[in-house]
Amino acid sequence: MDSQITIKIKNISKSFGGLKALENVSFSVKTGQIHALIGPNGAGKTTLMNIISGLETADSGEIIFNDKPINKLPPEKRTKIGIARTFQNLELFGEMTVLENVMVGMYLKYETGFIKSGLMLNSVRKVQKDIITKSLNILDYVGLNHRKNEYAKNLPVGEQRLLEIARAIAADPILMLLDEPAAGLNIRETKNLSILIKNLKEEKQITLLIVEHDMELIMGISDTITVLNFGKVIAEGDPLSIQKNPDVITAYLGEED
């Protein structure tokens, strides 16, 4: 068992019609690291995140999570074994409160069949109380406790991003996938997000794989960066080496400039 690797992406390929979205993509995410996945629009980053989380199926290749292949597991099973996900396009329950959104993530940790039955047994009451308490603690952790009774749809984008992360924390993940968490955020919100992501690594001991276009954010928080271009890995390394890599400058950083 390789205790230093949380997830291995092995020769993943995916095509949509005649378009190759991913071609033999391979890399490993080390345990306890913030690993960034960057590249120009259309490089295949979100497709790969969807494959890791089980929303799409690879044409070939293998994903190994905690030394076990997970290709055949549906999304909910992947969540239960420790993979949580946020989305580029927010996937919140708008008509539910902030607290209820986090509780949804928390329920994944419990055997909820008897809760769904609606029978208010003592065991159900105890679990419900525990879920509420832990969900409030998570909201406090991300700075949203004061919003707990508001509908999710009424939050500004910056706080909706935080709420998605809070719901992911509630699933008690080993690995958290963040798909463009800084999209739509202002400078202050992005700075606070960088602090939160570092805290998830250092305080919560969560390994993170992040897709993001904000290069200042990525260069400031990442331990390792993998660069995709046209569905292929063109570089991997620490932030400084990636900044200096001529292929990356041409394919991505130069484009941003």
Domains belonging to the chain, first-starting first, are 1-82+173-257 (3.40.50.300), 85-172 (3.40.50.300)
First CA to last CA across the chain, in angstroms?
43
pLDDT for the residue 117 = 46
pLDDT for the residue 257 = 40
pLDDT for the residue 106 = 80
What's the maximum distance between 2 C-alpha atoms anywhere in the chain? 63
Evaluate whether 249 touches 227 at the Cβ level (below 8 Å): no
Q: Which residues contact 106 (CB under 8 A, 6 or more apart)?
A: 131, 134, 135, 170, 171
**Alpha-carbon span 232 to 73, nearest angstrom:** 25
Evaluate whether 177 touches 83 at the Cβ level (below 8 Å): yes
Helix residue ranges per DSSP H, the chain: 45-53, 75-80, 98-107, 113-116, 122-142, 157-170, 187-202, 215-221, 239-244, 246-248, 254-256
How many other β-carbons are positioned within 10 Å of the β-carbon of residue 74? Answer: 10
How many other β-carbons are positioned within 10 Å of the β-carbon of residue 19? Answer: 9
From first to last of its 257 residues, what are the pLDDT tens digits of the chain? 455 999 999 999 999 988 899 999 999 999 999 999 999 888 899 999 999 999 999 999 999 999 999 999 999 899 989 999 988 667 788 889 999 999 988 876 665 444 454 555 666 677 788 889 999 999 999 999 999 999 999 999 999 999 999 999 999 999 999 999 998 899 999 999 999 999 999 999 999 999 998 999 999 999 999 999 999 999 999 999 999 999 888 886 555 44
**Alpha-carbon span 61 to 47, nearest angstrom:** 14
Per the DSSP assignment, residues forming a β-bridge with 209 are: 35, 177
- In order of 79, 157, 183, the CA distances from 46 in angstroms are 18, 20, 14
The secondary structure of residue 222, as a DSSP letter, is: -
pLDDT for the residue 91 = 74
Concatenating the DSSP letter of every residue in 121-166 gives: -HHHHHHHHHHHHHHHHHHHHHT-GGGTTSBGGGS-HHHHHHHHHH
3-state secondary structure of 102: helix
**Alpha-carbon span 70 to 75, nearest angstrom:** 10
3-state secondary structure of 88: coil
**Alpha-carbon span 206 to 96, nearest angstrom:** 27
